Structure 1
Amino acid sequence: MESDTPFQENCKTLFSNFIEEQNPENPFTAYDEYELLLVDLSRSGLSDHDRKECERDLAMAAKQCGLFQVVNHGVSWEILAKLKSEQEKLFRQPFEKKVNKFLNCYRWGSPAATSLMQFSWSEAFHIPLENIPVLKGFNSSLSTTIAVFAEVASELAKRIAEILAENLGSKTTFFAKNCMASSCYLRMNRYPRCPISSEIYGLVPHTDSDFLTILCQDQVGGLQMVKDGKWVSIKPNPQALIVIIGDLFQAWSNGVYKSIEHRVISNHEGERFSVGYFLCPSNDTVIQGCNENEPCMYRKFSFREYRQQVQEDVKSTGSKVGLSRFLM
């Protein structure tokens, strides 16, 4: 399907000069394909030995990589198939209808971009969980499907977060108390076919600002991450969901768990879809190192303060700066 989103028409200044902006060291060259670390969550329900091994594997993946896969995760393939079907129907609506009908949750491109290297050739629906009931008036099937997925994804995200917290010696109710439906959200993404895919990102390099993300992607490929100082392409796995450690978990764990930079490369042959569930606390939640006996890498900050700083940086520079703003 050809994109009905007018990226080039509405951002003429950026696109008219894209040839002059080309980097002699092309950042879109071919990259090695990398198979993510994979954790089988079914072992957590077996013997005590298997459960502990599973928990150690999760902690190791969060420490070493910050972006890994889980299988036997409890999200049925019926739910995922229905979600993808509803997602595709939503994105195939005319651009003007998406903008006007879903004004508060539809996003596209990068409004703050000052160069093509800051522009994302993608569109998305950013849906706070508390707004899911509102969607019922537009599309009851979509609303019901999103609600079912959000419930199981939330359970999975909190389960993983609690395991990672316990590995740090912190038996805590922090995530259950602070990461409620009123603060978490879903993001449904579409990366349309891009005629200048050798010159532009599908999604610019970034780290996630939440505690952790549960990502469901199709088999098109395009997701990349930084591994050992270089970009690698992540091999799609039809059986797995991807877990991405976010900035808040890196700060809360005092740097033990890693929030890894990742991006999406655009594709000139076809479109790509993904859905992310973001485990976020309330805006007033204070983030500080969970181990009081260790020197903190980052100063205390609220999630509101962090989000405002990110927004200010994107507005002023076109890019996210992130955790480095909060180093001690």
Structure 2
Amino acid sequence: MELLCNAPAHATVPDRYVFPPEKRAALQLNDDATSDVTLPIIDLHHGTLSDNRRRIQVAAEIIAAGKEYGFFQVVNHGVGDDAVQAFRDAAAGFFALPAEEKLPYCSYDMSKRFRLATSTSYDRGETRYWRDYVKFRCYPPSDDNVRCWPSRPASFVPRLVEYCEAVHGLAQTLLALIAEGLGLDKGFFAGDLSGGDTHMSLNYYPPCPDPTVTMGLLAHCDRHLLTVLSQADVAGLQARHGGRWLLVRPVPGAFVINFGHQMEIVTNGVLASVEHRAVTNSVAVRMSVATHVHPTDGCLIRPAPELVDEEANPAKYREFMFSEFMEAYDAADASREGVLEFFKIHHD
């Protein structure tokens, strides 16, 4: 497998990474798409959410941001900067290993519990995306998961466990706040809706000699419930909003939060899963750490009855098992409308 992280710096973009002009990011942007729009930044006031007034206010801010953008950033979230940086350093160390040490992990087999690959599993054509990635199950740290994790660098496993424990707690806090903001029981998302193995994507984008001709990652929506993303201080994530692509500008110490398809379906469309993509840069390595909260495979997914009104707001989606959704997502090559069409209810 030909990985970008194994190659010396490129002087030019190889042909296999050059997109047709109509598919390049620069030509997909409207004139006002580069305007400086900052996504909502929500202060979680870590340690003080027991104050009922503050909790209600934060929950309302999350729902407002979710309805408007589908993306927001959180600060004062309780995950220590040291834990974040230590794992980011360990992950960068893995990508920097000699090619022969990474070779045993290289695979496009999506059933593997830890796999290293390049471009994307959803290649819509022969053009490659300027990206290497690792995908694996990161929480809970069960024996089945841990035995698949790399032994080098030596810091990888302990730093991963520490990081995932902290991010899992943050995700559960956010899900409780989302439920309360929607008028649901605070434990609504607990149990099967968030009880599947938590997955992680480590995305590695090396400097690109000409970012105008290629892409880091295709436009897509996430398949699961919630994503907690660390993008550090290098920009590259873009979110679609009102026909524009907005750059998600890094905020020191913040996590970027976005909703997956399951959140959109369970909330009957109140909180949408928004398309996003990654662009490249010519100056610095960008590495994002995305933690994805999944339902269990056997979880029954359906719009929350509290958010359905048969006359004013009927159910938009049918009931299904999460395992069925996973199969449909792969069949639709991650296309937002393609996968949702499998589950929509069309009312006369």
TM-score per shorter chain, which class?
A: 0.7 to 0.9
Q: In structure 2, what residue type is equivalent to 1:267?
A: N
State whether residues 32 and 233 of structure 1, in contact with CA within 8 Å, keep that contact through their aligned partners in structure 2.
no
Q: Alignment partner of 1:85: what SS?
A: helix
The offset of 1:268, in angstroms, is 2.3
Question: Does residue 78 of structure 1 match 2:88?
Answer: no
Map of 1:183-202 to 2, 5 A cutoff?
Answer: 183-202=197-216
* Mean CA deviation greater in 255-264 or 24-33: 24-33
* Mean CA deviation greater in 59-68 or 74-83: 59-68
The offset of 1:136, in angstroms, is 6.3
Map of 1:229-244 to 2, 5 A cutoff?
Answer: 229-244=243-258
Cα 1:298–1:282 shift into 2, 3 Å: same
Q: Alignment partner of 2:189: what SS?
A: helix
Whichever structure has more helix as a proportion of its residues is: 1
Within the candidate set 132, 136, 147, 1:127 is matched to 136
Q: Alignment partner of 2:84: what SS?
A: helix
TM (norm. structure 2) is 0.82
* Mean CA deviation greater in 76-85 or 179-188: 179-188
Gaps of 5+ in 2: none
**RMSD value, Cα:** 2.8
Cα 1:125–1:196 shift into 2, 3 Å: same
Where does residue 42 of structure 1 map in the other structure? 45
Map of 1:10-89 to 2, 5 A cutoff?
Answer: 14-15=16-17, 18=18, 21-23=20-22, 26-27=27-28, 31-42=34-45, 44-45=48-49, 47-89=51-93
Map of 1:247-326 to 2, 5 A cutoff?
Answer: 247-291=261-305, 293-294=308-309, 295-314=314-333, 319=335, 321-326=338-343
Partners of 2:260 and 2:124 in 1: CA distance:
26
Where does residue 110 of structure 1 map in the other structure? 120
State whether residues 6 and 99 of structure 2, in contact with CA within 8 Å, keep that contact through their aligned partners in structure 1.
yes
Partners of 2:29 and 2:211 in 1: CA distance:
9
Identity %: 25
Between the two proteins, the alignment pairs up a number of residues equal to 318
Cα shift readout 1:104-124 (whole Å, capped 9, x = no counterpart)? 4212113552436x6421111
State whether residues 120 and 217 of structure 2, in contact with CA within 8 Å, keep that contact through their aligned partners in structure 1.
no
Partners of 1:304 and 1:65 in 2: CA distance:
28
TM (norm. structure 1) is 0.87
Gaps of 5+ in 1: none
Cα 1:50–1:172 shift into 2, 3 Å: closer
Cα shift readout 1:56-99 (whole Å, capped 9, x = no counterpart)? 11111122211001111010001011011101111112344323
Q: Alignment partner of 2:224: what SS?
A: coil
